[in-house]
Chains A and B, each alone.
Chain A
Amino acid sequence: MIDGLKTMLPLAWRNLWRNPRRTGITLIVVAIGLWSILFFNAFMTAWAKSSKETTLQLLLGSGQIHAEGFMDDPSIETLMDPPDQDLASALDAPAVADWTTRVVVPGVVQSEYKTLPATIVGVDPVAEARISSIPDRIAEGRYLSGSDDDSVVLGLHMVERLKTGLGRRVILMSQNAEGAMSEQSFDVVGIYDADKATEDLYVFTGRAASQRFLGLEGEIAQVVFVLQEDTALEDAVAALADAAPALDVRGWKELNLFLASMDSYMGVFVQVWLGIVFSLMAIGIVNTQLMAVFERTQEFGLLRALGMKPRRVLFMVTIENALLIGTGVLLGMVLAAVTIWSLSDGIDFSAFARAMEMVQTGEIIYLDFEPGAFILFPGLIWLLGILVTLWPARRASRCRPVEAMRRET
């Protein structure tokens, strides 16, 4: 067997180059096909990762804890007390990287020119900086200085719509703890730059300041937590739910269904692409290999006449195909690795910033070299390629020597 392979491999390699043009075309088809799969996989993975990280880091966190009913009716009537000892202990577990509490109530924000609906978010700026990317997205002015800071940070787009600006004052209005309307004037000290939807919705102020404004006695709307590893999400949610059975503990997959489905279906997109590319490749490969077998009919007849058994002819042609597709696969891997490596500093989509916001993705997509994909997809293409070329190989092996040798090609 080994001796047979040692003889067959050089023969197969030389046979491949009998028609350099056809071999070249097949190599290009396989290499570009595999390159597109590996690149598409790397891009989609990076895009999904960026989309997920951007969304989770913005405000969502790995998960949130609310009072029962808050998710259906996020109002001042569905607030909760700050975490008790049991919940605080669970939140201090090693799996949880950080956590903070927020006051979140619906309200309106009013300038001299316009009144807009808004979600007023009271935060602890120090803890928030460890959880959310908003403090890092200040485009003008500053972020909040402390929980007692009774100024506001508005989104860029909301500022434009309100026709207000840094140093001006806006009025926040919301229902207070007693069911009456509270309104208070706040200084605009900072303007943040995020996606348009976030900018239009969220107004940030200090947590203690918001509690005073709403007449609360320490109540909060949510606990936001960030995990060390996303893979521990389900266990962490279960542990927190155990620690606070009366509260509604949800991971990000329940809080943002779009993001969750993007995360789950990313693999499916790549598989669909793999299917399309492989089908096209298979048509090309089978056609060229059928042509190659047809052109060499006389030779296969000779081999059979000399005493080569049908299964050995099948083996020989299969080795040729394995070598051909294997070479194409190697080329595709090198091409993909070089492409991914050369783009490892990130693909800058800032020219399409608004479009990227719509799909909740960062402006720069960082491609990662994923060793698993470089084993799985090339292996799959190689094996499937050999499988489809078994048909032409079988035709070659089943030729009748006397008829095959008579054929002029």
Chain B
Amino acid sequence: MPPIVTCRGLSKTFGKGELAVHALRDADLDIMPGDIATLAGPSGSGKTTLLNMIGALDEPTSGEVSVDGQPLSGLSRSQLSDLRLSKIGFVFQSYNLIPVLSARENIEFVLQLQGVSAAERRDRAMNAIKEVGLSGMEDRRPGKMSGGQQQRVAVARALVSRPKIVLADEPTANLDSKNALELVDLMRNLNREHGTTFLIGTHDIRVMEHSMRHIEMVDGRIDSDARSSG
């Protein structure tokens, strides 16, 4: 089975000359379908930069990223938007929900961008809400939800569009232990039941323990890439 994500010789440098910061150095990586991989390493090791490159949110200085066989270089901003919309789901550290929309509307929003009909949007959003364990809270706005609940909505939003891969950057960083563990369980279950591919940038040992693949980054390089029995 071909990899969902392929990175070859990926480098990213911020600034120029003596002030240049090499955030990513010559990274090679394949993410296979069904992987639940963690990207770990100290702050500044390049985790977020790598996730941003794979998520088509930022451009590499050199090297190439392909998502689902599609090289990202040369794509216009509009084409990159289409690719993110159809193939990639995002979960961010600070949830990043739209504050004026309810939980269901936040989830439906991505489907609306995809042009899914109103009826189907509603069905799929309600299913996603049920799957992340938030039934009964669909009409609440983010401001009326706990951090854990908001992050579950963010996971549901990332999954509802049926992406090829979900990229999560420090998804448990703002959560307490209980909510963090519940979120990890949720991602693990979604991976097991639907084969959803996750690439999670994290410091959190609890997340790493539940991953089937652990990628360690140091100084912008991939230092180790090991699979566990899960």
Which residues of A pack against B, CB within 8 Å? Answer: 3-4, 6-7, 11, 14-15, 18, 298-299, 302-312, 400-402, 405
Contacts and interface: CB of A to CB of B under 8 A. Distances in A.
Contacts of B57: 305, 401-402, 405
Interface string B25-60: 000000000000000000000000000100101100
Contacts of B115: 3
B178 interface: no
B100 A308 contact: no
Contacts of B78: 309-311
A182 to B, nearest CB: 89
B65 to A, nearest CB: 14
B113 A306 contact: yes
B26 to A, nearest CB: 21
B111 to A, nearest CB: 10
Contact of B82 (A3, A18, A309, A311): A309
Given A18-B99, A303-B98, A401-B57, 5 more contacts: A305-B90, A306-B85, A306-B109, A306-B110, A402-B52
A7 B118 CA distance: 9
Contacts of B84: 305-307
* Interface SS of chain B: helix
Contact of B100 (A3, A11, A306): A11
A307 to B, nearest CB: 3
A298 B157 CA distance: 18
B91 to A, nearest CB: 11
Contacts of A401: 57
B82 A307 contact: yes
9 contacts: A3-B115, A14-B101, A18-B100, A298-B96, A305-B57, A305-B84, A306-B90, A307-B114, A402-B58
Interface residues of B, number: 28
The 9 A-B pairs with the shortest beta carbon distances in the complex, nearest first, are: A307-B85, A14-B100, A307-B84, A402-B57, A402-B58, A309-B81, A302-B96, A401-B57, A7-B112
B96 A405 contact: yes
B154 to A, nearest CB: 10
A304 B81 contact: yes
A308 B99 contact: no
A307 B110 contact: yes
A2 to B, nearest CB: 11
Contacts of A309: 77-78, 81-82
Contacts of A304: 81
B86 interface: yes
Interface in B61-87: 77-78, 81-86
A312 B81 CA distance: 11
A293 to B, nearest CB: 15
Nearest to A7: B112
B113 A312 contact: yes
A403 to B, nearest CB: 9
B117 to A, nearest CB: 8
Interface of B: 52, 55, 57-58, 77-78, 81-86, 90, 92, 96, 98-101, 109-110, 112-115, 117-118, 157
Contacts of B118: 3, 6
B55 A305 contact: yes
B113 A15 contact: no
Contacts of A3: 112, 115, 117-118
A78 B183 CA distance: 105
A18 B85 CA distance: 26
Contacts of B52: 402
A140 B67 CA distance: 99
Contacts of A11: 98, 100-101
A18 B141 CA distance: 13
A405 B92 contact: yes
Nearest to A404: B57
B86 A307 contact: yes
A312 B117 CA distance: 18
A28 B206 CA distance: 54
Contacts of B55: 305
A307 B109 CA distance: 11
A329 B96 CA distance: 34
A310 B76 CA distance: 11
Contacts of A7: 109, 112
Interface hub of A6, A18, A302 (most chain B Cβ within 10 A) = A302
A312 B82 CA distance: 12
Contacts of B98: 11, 299, 302-303
Nearest to A13: B100
Interface hub of A4, A14, A312 (most chain B Cβ within 10 A) = A14
A70 B142 CA distance: 86
Nearest to B87: A307
Interface hub of A306, A310, A312, A400 (most chain B Cβ within 10 A) = A306
Nearest to B52: A402
Nearest to B88: A307
Contacts of A303: 98
Given A305-B55, A305-B57, A402-B58, A310 B81 contact: yes
B143 to A, nearest CB: 11
A16 B136 CA distance: 27
A369 B81 CA distance: 50
A110 to B, nearest CB: 85
A305 B91 CA distance: 11
A6 to B, nearest CB: 8
